[in-house]
Amino acid sequence: MPIRPGGPGLLWEQHCCLPLLPSADIAELARYPLGSYLSVNVGYSLHSTRDSERMIDQFRRDALADGRFRLVERIADAVDPDPDLIALAFDLEDSGPLGGDLDNVKMFYDLGVRSLLPSYNYANAAGCGCLDTEDTGLTAYGRDLIRTLNEVGMFADGSHCSPRTGLDIADITTVPMVYSHSNFAAVWAHPRNISDDQARACAATGGVIGINGVGIFLGRNAPGERAERVEAMADHIVYGAELVGIEHIGFSSDFSFDGDDFNAEVAANPEVFSAEFTRWGPLQWTPPEDLLGASDVPGLDEVLANRGLSAAERAAVFHGNFARIAAQVWRD
C-alpha cells in the first residue's frame, strides 16, 4: 500500500471485521501495510461455538495460503513485527460463542483469539450491554469469565458492554483490560461510547482504550464526511490523552470490509441493534486508506501531528500502547 510520507510506522489494529461468511476474502486485510498487527472479529452474540471455530479455521487456512500473513501464536509474533508480513489474530465480540463453557476460552486462545468482550449491546449470561435500559453489571458467570480470561492470558474487553459491566471488569481483572474499539461519550454522546469513569477505571488497571472510526460513534456519519471522521478520531484521541494519559490510548478502527453486509445485518437483527444504530442512516466507516494517508484525505498521523502530538506519542497510539499490555497479559 502506498503510504504518504509522514504516515504512521508500526500499526496495531485491535479490531476490524471481515464478513462473517464463507465468502470472506482474507486478501482485503492486505489493505493494511506489511508489518501491521490485525485483530479480526470471528463471532458475536448470534454465533455458536462451532460457528466461530469454523470461521477461525477458514481465516487461518486462507491467511496461510495467501502468504502475506503470520498467525499469532506467541507474544513475539505480534509485538516484534516482521516487516514482510501482517500479524493476524482474532477477537470475539460476545461471550455467546463460548456456549457457556469457560474451558472454551483456552480452546479459542489456542486458535489465535486474543480478546473477548462479555456482552454485545444487550444483556446475556455474562452481563449487561451498552443498549440495556437496566444495568446490573456482570453476573456471577461473567465474573468467573473475567478471572478465566486473566488465567488464560486473553484481553478482557469492555467495548459494547454497559457502564456497570465495564466498571466491574476493571474491578475484577488483575491485569490490564481494554476497551478495544470505544470512543468517549463526553466528546459524542452515544450509548456505545464510554464514560470518563469507565476510562479512568480502565487506565487504573494499566489498560488501553482504542478509538474507532465508525461514523455514528463519532457524530460524523454522512457518506461525504471522510476527512471529518479522521478529524473526529483525533478529537477522541486528544481528549483521552488529556483525561487518562497518552499511554492509555490506542486506535482500533472497527472497519468493516463489507459495510453493505453489516448494514443489512443491522436491519435484519433489531434485537441486537437498536434505533441508535439506525437513526443516523447506514453506517459509515473510516477505511485504512483514509486512516493511513494513502488517499486524498489527510491521514490520522498527519492530523495528530498538527494537533501537537510528538512522533513518540503518535507511535504509542498507533502501536506501542497495545503492544505493551499484550506483553503483560498474553501467554506464550
State residue 7's pLDDT score.
58
What is the DSSP secondary structure assignment for residue 72, as one 8-state letter? -
State residue 72's pLDDT score.
98
Write down the mean pLDDT value for the chain: 94
Grid coordinates belonging to 242: 488529556
Cα radius of gyration rounded to whole Å, the chain: 18
Contact between residue 181 and residue 254 where contact means Cβ atoms under 8 Å apart: yes
Stated as kind and residue range, the H or E segment containing 284 is: none
Full-model pTM? 0.94
State residue 6's pLDDT score.
43
Residue 119 above 70 pLDDT? yes
Residue 5 above 50 pLDDT? no
Query: Would you identify the CATH topology of the domain 12-329?
Result: TIM Barrel (3.20.20)
For the chain, the structural domain boundaries read 12-329
Q: Which of 92-96, 167-171, 176-180, 266-270 has the lowest mean pLDDT?
A: 266-270
Residue 41 above 70 pLDDT? yes
Give, to the nearest 10 degrees, the angle between helix 163-172 and helix 196-204.
Answer: 10
Cα–Cα distance list, 226 to 11, 213, 229, 263 (Å)? 20, 10, 5, 18
State residue 143's pLDDT score.
98
